Structure 1
C-alpha cells in the first residue's frame, strides 16, 4: 500500500538553532477505507540534540515509518512531529531536508559520474571537499581505481559497483552534505567482513557531533546508544539504555538474547 507524500507549498524557510526531535501523540496509517492499515499508534518520543537513538523491533513494527515522518516523506494522521522545536509542517521541503541526511539499506545512485553522485547534497562543493568526504567514507581508493576515477559514469542504481562500494559512496554523499541530523538504517548484514569494517569506519566519521537516529541491527551499535526505543506493532513499548533494558524482562532482553546467540556475542 502507498500513501502520497505531501509538502505544503506555503511552508517557511526556517533556520533552526537546535536539532532535537519530538513526536507528540503521533498516529499514522497507510491506505484508505477498508485497505487502511494503522502503522503507528499514539507515539510519543523525544530525541535530544547530539544524542544517539537506536530504534529496534521486528520487521513491520513501524521503525522505518518513524524515520520517514521525521523527514516528512509523509504526514502524520494526527499529532505532531517536531524538529528543532518546529512542527515539520511549518518548513519548506528544502529547509527541512537541509538539516537531515539519510543513509538507508537500499542505496540509490544516479546514472552519472561518481563525482556528481557524491556532490548531490552539496553541488557547490570544492574538489578538495569532495575528496576529503570520500576518504572519510573509505571509498577514495576504489574510486581512484575506476577507469576515469571520480569522472567514471556508473549505471543507474550503481549496478557496476558492489553493495559495499555503493553504501560507502552514499555515506560520502552524507558526509559532504554535513547535515546536523542523521537518519541511518545500518546496512551491513549483506556485505563481506572487509566491507562491513569499512562501512562502520565510514559511519563513525559521518555521525561525529550529530543528532543520530538509527534503525539498528548490530548489538555493538545498540549497546552504545544514549537511548533505545523498542517498537512493536506501531507502539514504543520500551525506552531506556542498554543497561537498563537488558536488566528487565521484555522484548528488548529477548531481542538481545537472540542476537547474542546468533552473532556469538557475549553481553556484559
Structure 2
C-alpha cells in the first residue's frame, strides 16, 4: 500500500478483510512473512509507536461514559479545548454538541447512549482527526447510517483522510470505485488486485460482486394490488 493512497478491501463476510486490518495494527502477529510500515517490521516497533501511526474508525462506535470533550480528547490526551473544537467542526459535530445540555461538558452516557448513531460516529471521526495519524483504517462508517447522517459523515471522512494513507473495509462497492487499488479477499486469500475498472473488465470475482451489487440496488417493493393481479 503506497503512502497517501487508498486501498479498499472487499469480499464476502469471513473472508479475511478484518484480519488484514488487525494484522496491520498488530492485534495479531503474522505466522509467515511480515507487515512493514515505512520499511520497518512492525514487530520491531513498540506498541505506542505503532498505534500512534494508525487511527481506526469502526462502524460500531464505542464511547466512554464521560464528557463529549474527553471522548474526543482520547485521540490526543494533551489537546487543548480549541484543538478539540476545531476537530469537532471538521467532523461536522460541533453544532449538535453545542445543542447538548452542557455542550462539550455533557456526559454522553454508557457507550454514548445519549447520542444517536450518526452523532456517535462523528464524535469518533473527530477523535481520529484530532489524533492526526498518517494511516487511517476505515470500517466503512456510512454502511449502517440513515441518509440524513450519511452526507455529514461523508464530509467528516473527507476531512479525516486528506493526505493520509487509507485502508477501507468496503461493504458497499459503489463507495470505493475510485480507490487506487482494490483487494478482493476470499477464503483468507487475496484473490484479485487492481483498480475498479481493471477488475470489472477482468470478469472475475470482483466483476461478479459488482453485478450482484447493481442488481441489489435496483430492487423495489411491489404494491399488494399488483402482486395479487399476477
TM-score (norm 2): 0.92
Quick one: which of 198, 201, 225 aligns to 1:244? 198
Residue 233 in 1 paired to residue 187 in 2? yes
Aligned 8 A contact 2:23 2:30 in 1: yes
Q: d(CA) in 2 for partners of 1:204 and 1:217?
A: 18
2:55 aligned residue: 101
Offset at 1:262?
Answer: 1.9
2:226 aligned residue: none
1:133 aligned residue: 87
Q: Tell me the secondary structure at the aligned position of residue 236 of structure 1.
A: strand
Aligned 8 A contact 2:59 2:143 in 1: no
Offset at 1:97?
Answer: 0.5
Change (3 A) 1:136 1:220: farther
Quick one: which of 203, 208, 222 aligns to 2:157? 203
Q: Which has the higher helix share?
A: 2
Offset at 1:220?
Answer: 3.6
Residue 261 in 1 paired to residue 220 in 2? no
Q: d(CA) in 2 for partners of 1:195 and 1:143?
A: 15
Q: d(CA) in 1 for partners of 2:26 and 2:4?
A: 20
Q: d(CA) in 2 for partners of 1:206 and 1:80?
A: 28
Q: Which has the higher strand share?
A: 1
For residues 7-43 of structure 1, what are the alpha-carbon distances to aligned partners after superposition, in whole Å with 9 as ceiling and x for unaligned?
A: xxxxxxxxxxxxxxxxxxxxxxxxxxxxxxxxxxxxx
Unaligned runs of 5+ in 2: 220-230
1:189 aligned residue: 143
Offset at 1:185?
Answer: 0.4
Q: d(CA) in 1 for partners of 2:203 and 2:171?
A: 20
Q: CA RMSD in A?
A: 1.2
Offset at 1:251?
Answer: 1.1
TM-score (norm 1): 0.79
Quick one: which of 129, 140, 144 aligns to 2:98? 144
Q: d(CA) in 2 for partners of 1:197 and 1:263?
A: 19
Q: Tell me the secondary structure at the aligned position of residue 73 of structure 1.
A: coil
Q: d(CA) in 2 for partners of 1:99 and 1:58?
A: 28
Query: Once superposed, which parts of structure 1, at least 4 consecutive aligned residues long, lie more than 6 Å away?
Result: none
Quick one: which of 94, 104, 117 aligns to 2:71? 117
Q: Which structure exhibits the higher relative contact order, with contacts defined as CA atoms closer than 8 Å and separated by 6 or more residues?
A: 2
Unaligned runs of 5+ in 1: 1-46
